[in-house]
Chains A and B, each alone.
Chain A
Amino acid sequence: MTARMDKRFADVAAEGRPALVTYFMGGDPDYASSLEIMKALPKAGSDVIELGMPFSDPMADGPAIQVAGQRALAGGQTLAKTIQMARDFRKEDDATPIVLMGYYNPIYIYGVERFLDDALEAGIDGLIVVDLPPEMDDELCIPALAKGINFIRLATPTTDEKRLPAVLKNTSGFVYYVSMNGITGSALPDPSLIGGAVGRIKAHTKLPVCVGFGVKTAEHARAIGASADGVVVGTAIVNQIASSLTADGKASAATVAGVETLVMSLASGVRASRLAAAE
């Protein structure tokens, strides 16, 4: 496996806090602005970056991420350009893990072997592919692991005790616990329920467990971070970008700055979470 992921989670754990995992859509609203956003994330306190690969039919995403994908595609984003974005980012940051997140079809059309080779060479550390459950592991998961790229699996409230071992079997890097059944951008569920679910998963694996879906504010991040190894924030960042755009959908001076401010606030939340938990 690429070393960046395990090292980052170990370092963050040594600091006694959860990791902040931030998602944004590659190419939203254009390549140059999106790359600036990506570069700003670690500086503002993000520990792991999820780089969204736009897809025309994002079946598990809510309206915010759907529209972000449409903006990116309208701006000319392709899978090749998303990989290039990681390559450009790596020129100045060789420590922050990058996870590509999206749907399988663009990867299938790109060609699985070629995709994995290019992703590895560009400095990508992991993949989250929403529509590839364990039953489909031969498609991409097994080839990715063989090349040394982490395959990060989603576990959900419907993933019961019987199914959990199968879901965790070929998972590496971290486990992404989706805290509710539903699409991205839904409301935050009760943090006290999340602690139990994280514990249930941790009984089956030594991997870090990151929790996402519904985290929008520093306070949410603090509450979730009390029981999780990482907090994932996506829709709130995508919404922040959307609200900064000009009337004709172009990036403004506030686009990168707005993301920076939000991520700094979220980072303060995760840094306060264990202190609060210890009280």
Chain B
Amino acid sequence: MTLPDDKELESILGDGVDLNTFKQILEMDEPGDNEFSTSIVFGFFEQAEETFESMNTALNEKDLDKLSELGHFLKGSSATLGLIKVRDGCEKIQRYGKQENLDGSPEPDTNVCLERVKEALTAVKSDYEEVEVGLKKFYDKDDEEEEGA
């Protein structure tokens, strides 16, 4: 498949995706198919949903360390794909889990931190769903194109 231009990509994926980074993934595909990037993207979906589950669990258990760790984990893969809103959300969770404010200053109140994680998690889920729709649309469209072709 030929790479769609930036405007088209942006219209499909929305502003939650850093195009340069995502294109780097797309460029790793063999010419003519997008198996690799599909597996990465759908692998990420799986990973993200699992992580959100784990985060819910940790939130219920008030395990801030675990939350920070999970935030860091998902931040890494979302950053790799260029899903910047998800990445930023995850970083927030990582920081709050470390009992830090966004500027790095310490926040000793565990409850405040838990509350903020909860808010951040909600926000990151919504951001995630948005890019998930966009990405699925992107790959569906490709499929259609290929079928049509």
Q: Tell me, yes or no, whether A binds B.
A: no
A interface, CB within 8 angstroms of B:
none
- Interface residues of chain B, those whose CB is within 8 Å of chain A, are none
